Each structure stands twice: as structure tokens, then as C-alpha cells.
Structure 1
Amino acid sequence: MITYEYPFNERIRTLLRLEDLFQKVGSFMQRDGSHEHHVALLTLFEILDVSGRADLKMDLIQELERQRQSLLAFRNNPEISEQALNAALQEVEQASAALLAMTGKIGQHLRDNDWLMSIKSRASIPGGVCQFDLPSYHYWRHQEPGARREALLGWLQPMLPLRDALAIVLRLLRASGRPEHHVAANGAFQMMLGGSSSQMVRISLKLDDPYIPEISANKYALNIRFTRPDSDHRPRQSDSEVEFDMLFCNL
């Protein structure tokens, strides 16, 4: 199956973008190549920009506390494993405590590093990080992979509480609700939502189905146009019936 997610508000959009960026930086950091570590550093700069919302940390702390209170309501429930419940509570409490321990603005340690900020400013210029523009960065990229990885981890480490907290929130969000099977006639599907409080919708199709959902939605209506790529990967409206599963998510 391949799943497409469409967030209904800016808060969930931000969390999904950060999740994607943290996954990328982790993947590229594990490799040894200089080019991969360059991409990892640029991805760190993207995390810095996306996480710049002043209320992001407090939003996550409040959501984790809300989930903690929800979990506590299952205490002494014979249908709930106490061991599993305690593990979930511990995970939420640890993530919340780590967020509370973060001081200052998210990523401030990167902003305070003039060398990193010089790379960030040059990276916004096409070809701006060539060796003649930033010889010190050229030198860094020629260090041993282990040394570069250690430096990248040091720059990433202070932001890991943010990664861990949003991972919990998104996991709980995705686990909410139940998927329902639908069929889009002639590649088009519409549903009135009537002011729904859902925060995200997930559309799942079989991996070998050549359809791409183009989603537009708000709390009142959902519209999906299924397209299929031509030989140049340009999307064309499908005129066939498309079967898919849909899940509305809400915490």
C-alpha cells in the first residue's frame, strides 16, 4: 500500500514537514559520503527554519499532557494491559520532560554558530558553497566520515526532544479512527464533512495501482481528483473507477 496524508491545519503541516526532515537528516548522516553529509547539514538548516514557530514547543507539551491525561483514564481497566499502559505513560512523560528542559528558542545553538550561519547564507545561493567561496567548509568536508558524523550529531542532538515528541503525537494521530473503503467514479470523489474536527485525512491505495490522489479539503468538504502519470510523469485525470481506503484522524 502507498499512503498519502493531507493535513487540515498548519500545526499538523508543520509536524509532518519536521518528521520528513528528521528522517532525511538521520538517513544521510548514517552514510559516509561528503555529499551525503552536505545534504544532512542543509536539512538541519531546513529543520531550523521550519521549527521557528514560537509556540511549537508549547503546542507539543500541551498535546502530550492531554494524551497523558487520556492514558491515565485507563488505569485499573481490566481490558488494558497495565504494563503497556505504564510504558506508554513513561514514553509520553519522558518526551514532555525533555521538551521542558529545552531552553531558549529551538535551534538557537545553530544560530549562535557564525560558521554554520555563513554556510546557511551561502547555501541559499545556487552553487554558493563551492570551495572557493567557503574554504573552511571545503576543509570540513574532507575530514574523516566519523568526524563529520560526530559534528552533525552534535548539532542535531539539542533538537532531538522535538523529534521524539512529534513522533509520539503523529503516531497517536495516525492510530485514531478506522479506515473505510471507497470507490471514486471516473477518478473523482467528493464528501461533505459538515464542520468536521478532523486534523488529517489518509488515503491509501494499492502500490501497483497507477493513481495519484490530488486532495483539497477543509472542515466542510473533501475533494479528491485521482490522476495517473503519462510517459513524461505528467498527471492526467483518470476516467476509471478507483478503489481506495480513507481514514480521518483526530486527537
Structure 2
Amino acid sequence: MKTKLFLSVILLVFCFAALNCSKGNPFSSKPEEIISGDNINGVAGITAGEGLKAEISPDSWSKNWVNSEGQVIVRITGEGFDNIDNESIRMIGPEGAEITPFKTHLGGHFFKAKFYKKEAITLISDIVKGEKHEIQITGNFKEGGSFLLKDWIYIGKKGKVDLWAMVIPKVWLFNWTESEKAVKVKIKGTGFEKVIPESLRIAGGGAEIAPYVTSLKDAYFNALFYQKDAIGLFPNAKAGDRVKIQVKGSLNTGNAFSLDFNIKIQGKKKIER
């Protein structure tokens, strides 16, 4: 009698265990049975992306992007950036629509994903100028686990355009009069991708010069000016003089910009005989 009772209890325990497994026991070690949001042994579920940060550039989006082949770049930094599965990256809009990047790149200190502007703008179903939207970036790690990162974008300009620039070098030499090497100007900040290349000038000494080549990089607008043209802006300068120049131009939004710099003149003037 006792033996039969013991066997009946054992049978009931096995039946109960089998029933739980068939319903998706949250303690299962199978990733497909783990409840969304949990993270068991780093194998499945969405983590908060601890240590990771995503930055979307540009963060000012336009309804005019519908036919644009331009790029929206997501730069991911922080612990674990080098463990990201590049084929898993998704950009997700406020209503759940998603797109995939056309190109990814692993740098020394970041992971970068590039999306077409014409695809990114489709994530916003109701495009209203001045509105702010949360965009999610999701993906998986090569060694298991996943992440969800967030950033904000704006329709239209985010306040005013906030540009800054670098002029390299900031010491100009008299012996540049025949030099075809470059003075480099790098324009960065919110709106750099809106610079109209043909509009860019360096102004100083009552004259202006234009670049001989321009290019749009991932994180800045680049322009090269001949050194001989740059030093030619100040024919009456003396060694040790500090002169003022402006890097100026127009944006495709209709706005103009002007950035001021102090340049030091050094060297000896060539004496013509």
C-alpha cells in the first residue's frame, strides 16, 4: 500500500513538471522560452545597454529627405562596442517601424552604422516641424545578449545652427607665396552637413579666397585652401603680426554663418630685387 502511494506521488510530480515546461517555464535554460525583458546568463532578453551610448547625427531631420541618398550616422561608444554583431543593428521609430543600416564600421573607439536619410525619415509617420521624437537603436552582441539604446531627433532645426570650426595651421608664413600646400578648414557642430560648398570663403585683409577642394566627411565639412592664396590676403603684414580672418558661407536652409579666428604671421618676406 505504501509503495503504491509513493509511486503515485512521484507520478504527480513528473506530470506537474511536464505541464510547466509545456507552458514556457521562465526558469528554462532555452533562450526561446525566456520571457522578454529577462536576462539569464547574458543569453537572451533586452538589456539596457549598460556602458553603451548611441549618438544620432544629424539630429535635425527634414521631410525633404524623402529622396535623399544622404546619411544618418549612429555612433555607438562605451564598454562592449567592439562586441556588437553588425548584422543585428536596427533603427526603430516611435511607432515601431524599423530600418537596417547599409553600412557598418568598427573603429578604434566606436561602432558606426550608416542609414539612408530617405529611409530614416519614413520612421516618422506624421512629420511636423518643431516636434521631438525618440529613436531606438537595438542590436545583439556576438557572444550573446542584446541592447537597446535611445537618442532624440528633431524635425527641422534644433534651435539655431551651432557651428564651430578649426583652421590648420593658425601660424601663416611669408614663404608660402608659391606654396600649393593646404590650409585646412574643418567645420563641425550641428548643421555642418548643410554647408553649401560653393559658398565657403576665407575673408581677411579686405579680400576673400575660395577653397580648391571641399568634401563632406562623417563628422565634419572639410575645405582646403592654397597656402599661397591664404598668405596673399595680408600683403602688408609684418612678422609677428596677429591678423583676423573669417570663415564664412551659407547653409542650404537659407542661413549664413561667419566664424572668426586670429592668425599669427611669421617668417621673413621675400625681398624682390
Larger radius of gyration: 2
TM-score (norm 2): 0.25
Q: Which has the higher contact order (CA 8 A, sep 6+)?
A: 1
Indicate the structure with greater strand content.
2
Indicate the structure with greater helix content.
1
